[in-house]
Structure 1
């Protein structure tokens, strides 16, 4: 049985673990804190890049595969764990967007049901919107996933496998090397040997890989969000305007996000972000002016050039693999990224062309 160590317990680590376990591997997952409590917990969970037409084909390919896979993943996890990730197809309105031509051309090229709609459609779809919007781009089949529930379901599913070991509060100290080959990791509980070590450490991946003498351009990018509570169904669809969004959950919670801050590993929330996000919330949905947010939080995204992740082997260090650098799109890209990682590691024919993501052509 092949032994694999995964470093990082976010959505990339957990879905990679699930793919490998289902293929018959023995998997040890090491997480420096608690499973799923970093960017995977903090994000909004829109199952689409915020502006999909702005991204290169490499990002689009992962997003499209994942969008098709999420409903069956959610159904499977619910059946197996009785925990519902709540993949909620509610559609998305990009309000008064000035890239309409580019977006519609992208939609035709990718076969997406994105279309331009007028103000009458907008206000029938979301009556709570502030007045004055002239129109929107609309895609009815887009969903959001309730990412904290997704991480709870993944944890429960992984723990059902006898071949799975979870070690939380277990920061990896170093790689174990045999010459150039990576043969495991050293951590507080001792040596853990493996046939493959997969780095899924999100925003910490760049610093972590420095110990191996490699420069990985992945850095932390803070995002702050607010949470409101309204009646279930009050907001029917996701709405976006001027770079900010409102996401409805099935139980009436509404997420408002998000900031984009290059502040290192500082995850503290700020009064400035609170004021900015509240202003955005009220500019979109005036009724929220009468409500106080029920929560504010921050997470650290794994920022990378152009948002294209690093997926695959590091040939200069045989035995070391990467699945990291997804920037703002970790949740939407995760199913495809983890399937590709497993396909490559297990030498299966990949379902997605791996070329754009391979580390060897992109690492210094």
Structure 2
């Protein structure tokens, strides 16, 4: 396999491209908008599922592999591009109570350093928290990555490869086929032939594959976020309660997220979400009530059943591959997903069992 076309320029497309280029392939990446400006830009960047014990083993396997990948990736990208993805290993404090036993059982089974902590620990770790918390779960070393900067550094790194071509504002019109085989794409840039086409178009993947006569249950799910600005180091760790989180960046920005809305492709922000997210922010961190958010935005997640992505070949259309449907965990699952995809494409022994993700048995 020498020539590959990737449809979608988010973290899946970019990391897949990087893996393929390292393997000596020629890669063309097509993005309907701007590279890295959809869900990969909009999310919070926690390098973990929000409540990892709620997920099946298929999601856990990808997350476990990926969590150790980000620190060296960030170091390498910084050295190669001068752009720091800012992997910040500040730890995460879960303030919910009703799943602690389940969570600790999961942690023991997966050898995770999750521990139950008391009131004294909670307020030593995050003094800014609202009063009244008597117990929590804590995982030291859990990181977040500043995803907009990750995407900037990936773009810069990909542009250094001689055999990489990027077309932005270039929505694919159709697949090129010879019989049942996929041999490329037709797009505004022209006819692009390839040995393989990879669909990694995030929330648009289901509709896109529907044009090829296949039903992929991936749909857009809107998430809205708020951003505050405090002094660097003001919030020492990430905190999570009742499905909402606060994420500190190194420069003092605090992300508050997020909503979960089934509104199709509507990315407009709303006053209702603003009020809800502000209420969550102030309930967690009362000092934020004296601050106004500096930004509000929305992104579209690629929703899928159980959050298990589709990774692998589409046998009814030889030459077409999928890397899509990661729902709320695209960033944390991306390194493992892209490595698995390229292992399968290049007929290498996969580092992760591919069976739970193969599309054929799951496509309708």
TM-score range, shorter chain: over 0.9
Q: Which residue of 2 aligns with 1:179?
A: 179
The answer for unaligned runs of 5 or more in structure 1 is: none
What pairs up with 1:125-164 in 2 under 5 angstroms?
125-164=125-164
1:134 deviates by 1.1
1:211 deviates by 1.0
Instruction: Please say if 1:48 is aligned against 2:48.
Output: yes
Q: Which residue of 2 aligns with 1:344?
A: 344
On the 8 A contact 1:96/1:134 being kept in 2, the answer is no
Instruction: Please say if 1:242 is aligned against 2:228.
Output: no
Q: Which residue of 2 aligns with 1:256?
A: 256
Hey, what's the Cα distance between the residues in 2 that align with 1:44 and 1:322? 24
What pairs up with 1:60-71 in 2 under 5 angstroms?
60-71=60-71
Q: Secondary structure in 2 aligned to 1:44?
A: coil
What pairs up with 1:1-364 in 2 under 5 angstroms?
2-364=2-364
Residues 147-183 of structure 1 deviation map (CA, whole Å, 9 limit, x = unaligned): 0000000000000000000000000000000000000
Hey, what's the Cα distance between the residues in 2 that align with 1:59 and 1:83? 29
Hey, what's the Cα distance between the residues in 2 that align with 1:75 and 1:240? 27
Q: Secondary structure in 1 aligned to 2:172?
A: coil
1:60 deviates by 0.2
1:97 deviates by 2.4
1:141 deviates by 1.8
Corresponding residue pairs, total: 364
Give runs of ≥4 in structure 1 deviating > 2 Å: none
Hey, what's the Cα distance between the residues in 2 that align with 1:337 and 1:80? 23
1:337 deviates by 0.3
1:135 deviates by 1.0
Hey, what's the Cα distance between the residues in 1 that align with 2:255 and 2:211? 38
Hey, what's the Cα distance between the residues in 1 that align with 2:97 and 2:214? 40
1:344 deviates by 0.4
CA-atom RMSD in angstroms = 0.5
Q: Secondary structure in 2 aligned to 1:47?
A: coil
Q: Secondary structure in 1 aligned to 2:212?
A: coil
Q: Secondary structure in 1 aligned to 2:97?
A: coil
Hey, what's the Cα distance between the residues in 1 that align with 2:217 and 2:299? 19
1:226 deviates by 0.1
Residues 50-72 of structure 1 deviation map (CA, whole Å, 9 limit, x = unaligned): 00000000000000000011111
1:96 deviates by 3.3
Q: Secondary structure in 2 aligned to 1:298?
A: strand
Q: Secondary structure in 1 aligned to 2:64?
A: helix
Residues 62-97 of structure 1 deviation map (CA, whole Å, 9 limit, x = unaligned): 000000111111111011001000000000000032
Q: Give TM-score, length-normalised by structure 2.
A: 1.00
On the 8 A contact 2:167/2:189 being kept in 1, the answer is no
On the 8 A contact 1:223/1:259 being kept in 2, the answer is yes
Residues 187-226 of structure 1 deviation map (CA, whole Å, 9 limit, x = unaligned): 0121000000000000000000011110000000000000
Hey, what's the Cα distance between the residues in 2 that align with 1:347 and 1:26? 17
Hey, what's the Cα distance between the residues in 1 that align with 2:286 and 2:180? 59
Q: Give TM-score, length-normalised by structure 1.
A: 1.00
